[in-house]
């Protein structure tokens, strides 16, 4: 057995070619559907909160569910949001500029090995959640690949989809609005994510769906971050991927709601992540 070398790297990419071939035969097609959208009012709140070890004004976003995936999000305003750590209560104050965004009044950083308790009072209901932070290993930073047909660049994540050693979320926040040639463009930024999970998911590593191609010009500024994930948060993000990126894939799993850690029927997730960040120029 020792002759067999384990190579986790790019498990899916190795076989991507054959997947293309198989798709020749599976001749599946996707088309626009007139299937009706839901029309139901759901009375709960969505918590989008991630504390990090970065010294900054930590943020928690509160919103309401909506029935049309393209409608504007309706923020939850007037809530009382606090985070308790080591007996210390930290209030999160609602932003005056962006309703539904709650921030610490001063820059603060979460630390590892601590448990954070979230409490939200909104419309007579109380929602709570707890989370903790784990450390993170140094990342393999993504690189940027020139795409000759477009004259632009594309991100190349240099991390595996599957690893039994560590789960992580990678984020690239790329902007090019500062470049003179693009100042008039309507969209001059992109936020891209990539995940390393400790589960083998067919729809992720073997039969991924076609994803939007995002290109950016030479000279773009990219803020690259790697986030630590607890097992629970990794499970949440895996479910999120199942319901977003993997939905409709050829080996799709049965659909279901995400496993939130918010009490009282709240949606979303309250997490705490160690972050390693780097800012680079695309060249």
Partner 1 sequence: MVKHILAFCLLLNFALAYGQNDLLNHKVTLHIKNATLNSVLEMITQQTGVNFSYSNQSIQSERTISIIAEDKPLTEVLNEISEKLHLQFKVVKDQVVIKAAKEKPAEEEKFTISGHVRDAETGESLPGATIWDPTSQSGTISNNYGFYSLTLPRGSYGLQYSYVGFEQQLLQIDLQENMRKDVGMTLNAALLGEVTITTDEKLETIEKSQMSKIRVNPATLNTLPEFAGEVGLIKSLQTFPGIKTHSDGSAFFFVRGGNKDQNLILIDEAPVYNPAHLFGYYSVIIPDVAKEINIYKADMPIEKGDRLSSVIDVQTKDGNLHNFGMTGVLNPLIHRFAVEAPIVKEKSSVFASYRHSNFRWLYRLANADAALYLFDLNFKLNWKISKNDRLYYSFFYGKDNFTNQRINETGGIRWYNFTSTLRWNHIYNSRLFSNLTLYTSTYNYNLLADATIWESEINNVTINYDFSYFINPETSLRFGINQTFHDFNPGNLTADENNPYIPKVSGSKAAKTVFYVNREHNINENWSWKIGARMPIWTMQGPAVIYQFDSSYNVTDTLTFQEKDAIKTFVNLDPRLSLKYRISKNASFKLSWGIYHQYLNLISNSISPFTSFEIWMPSGTNIKPQRANQFAVGINKFLEKQKVEFVAEAYYKKMFNQVDYEPHANILLNPLFEGELRFGTARAYGLELSLRRTEGRLTGWISYTYSRVFKKIDGLNDGNEFPAYYDRPNDFSIFLSYHLSKRVNISANWTYYTGSAITTPIGFYSYNGSTIPLYGEKNNDRLPDYHRLDVALAWMLNKPGNNFQHSLSFAIYNFYNRHNPVSVNFNKVETKEGKFVVPANLYGTQDVMVTQKYLLGIMPSITYKFKI
Applying the rule CB under 8 A, the residues between 212 and 251 that interact with partner 1 are 212-214, 235, 238-240, 242-245, 247-248, 250-251
Does 43 sit near partner 1 (CB under 8 A)? no
Asked if 63 contacts 45 with a C-beta cutoff of 8 angstroms, the reply is yes
Kindly state the smallest distance separating residue 116's Cβ from partner 1, in Å.
18
Please select the residue that binds partner 1; options are 4, 88, 138, 181, rule is CB under 8 A.
Answer: 4
**CB-based contacts of 123, cutoff 8 Å, min separation 6:** none
CA distances to 163, 183, 259 from 195, in Å: 10, 31, 18
Q: Which is nearer to partner 1, 4 or 88 (CB)?
A: 4
Please choose, out of 31-39, 78-86, 103-111, 142-150, the segment that lies near partner 1 by the rule CB under 8 A.
Answer: 31-39
- Only one of the segments 62-70, 115-123, 126-134, 136-144 lies at the binding site for partner 1 (rule: CB under 8 A); that segment is 62-70
Per-position DSSP letters for 167-199, written without gaps between them = -EEEEEEEE-TTSGGGTT-S--EEEEEEEEBSS
Q: Does 21 bind partner 1 (CB under 8 A)?
A: yes
Q: Contact 136/228 with Cβ under 8 angstroms? A: yes
Does residue 148 bind partner 1 (CB under 8 A)? Answer: no
**8-state DSSP, 202:** I
φ and ψ at residue 84, rounded to 5 degrees? -110, 130
What are the beta bridge partners of residue 278? 224
Min dist CB 11 to partner 1, Å, is 5
Least Å distance between CB 86 and partner 1?
27
Kindly report the number of other CB atoms within 10 A of residue 160's CB atom.
19
Binding mask 150-169 for partner 1 (x = CB under 8 A): --------------xx----
């Amino acid at each position: 057995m020792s002759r067999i070398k384990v190579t986790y790297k790019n498990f899916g990419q190795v076989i991507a070619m054959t997947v293309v071939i198989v798709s020749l035969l599976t001749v599946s097609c996707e088309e626009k559907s007139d299937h009706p959208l839901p029309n139901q009012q759901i009375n709960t709140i969505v918590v989008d909160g991630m504390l990090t070890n970065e010294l900054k004004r930590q943020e928690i976003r509160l919103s309401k569910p909506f029935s049309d995936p393209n409608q504007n999000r309706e923020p939850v305003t007037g809530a009382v949001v606090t985070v308790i750590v080591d007996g210390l209560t930290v209030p999160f104050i609602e932003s005056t500029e962006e309703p539904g965004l709650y921030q610490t009044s001063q820059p603060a950083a979460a630390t590892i090995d601590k448990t954070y308790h979230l409490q939200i009072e909104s419309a007579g209901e109380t929602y709570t959640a707890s989370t903790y932070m784990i450390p993170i290993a140094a990342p393999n930073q993504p690189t940027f690949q020139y795409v000759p047909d477009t004259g632009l660049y594309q991100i190349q994540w240099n991390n595996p989809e599957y690893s039994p050693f560590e789960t992580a979320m990678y984020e690239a926040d790329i902007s090019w609005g500062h470049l003179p040639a693009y100042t008039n463009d309507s969209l001059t930024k992109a936020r891209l994510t990539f995940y390393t999970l400790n589960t083998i998911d067919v729809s992720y590593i073997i039969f991924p769906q076609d994803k939007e191609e995002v290109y950016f010009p030479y000279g773009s500024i990219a803020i690259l971050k790697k986030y630590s994930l607890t097992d629970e948060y990794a499970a949440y993000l895996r479910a999120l991927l199942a319901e977003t990126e993997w939905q409709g894939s050829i080996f799709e799993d049965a659909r279901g709601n995400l496993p939130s850690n918010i009490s009282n029927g709240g949606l979303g997730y309250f997490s705490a992540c160690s972050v390693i960040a780097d800012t680079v120029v695309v060249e």
